[in-house]
Amino acid sequence: MTDTDAKSTWTAGDAGVLRLPSGRLVRGRGLRRPVPEGAAPAFGVYLLGKEPPRTPWESRWLRWPDFRTPADREQARRLLREVWTRAADERVEVACAGGRGRTGTALACVAVLDGVPADEAVAYVRAHYDRHAVETPWQRRYVARFTP
């Protein structure tokens, strides 16, 4: 597979890429920053209070106001499971405006889906993605209560 093949995954050293314990790779990023150089995602989930602009790749929008938790928890569970499933063989990204609070929370939930205990998932994402990930007490509580 080539680097531009939609069915290839990220490289562990790519900007913002989180390696899950299973080896799956998911990119987190802030939408206020330019898209990183290199291959484009095959699939993205965008965590914003309002609908994001269209992307040239397949994407989904999850209504998630800044500094909060998802507006629809069941939709969040379905989309985060899709992120985890597709990351097995596709370049998948999760992003919010800044790339830390909502993105970190979503990545921590994906880590739970990958087998990280819920009470350890925030620490895992902070150690392997961004030390400031998951910004609010209610985001931490959301992760701690997240069930696959």
Residues 6+ apart with CB under 8 A from 128: 18, 19
Residue 92's beta-bridge partner residues? 43
Helix ranges (H only) for 7-115 are 73-86, 101-113
Per-domain boundaries in the chain: 17-145
> What pLDDT, in 10s, does the model give residues 17-65?
999 999 999 999 999 999 898 899 999 999 999 999 999 999 999 999 9
Give the integer Cα–Cα distance in Å for 138 and 120: 16
pLDDT one-digit tens code per residue, 99-115: 999 999 999 999 999 99
Query: For the sheet containing 17-19, what is the strand order?
Result: 17-19, 25-30, 92-96, 43-48, 58-63
* CATH topology (fold) of 17-145: Protein-Tyrosine Phosphatase; Chain A (3.90.190)
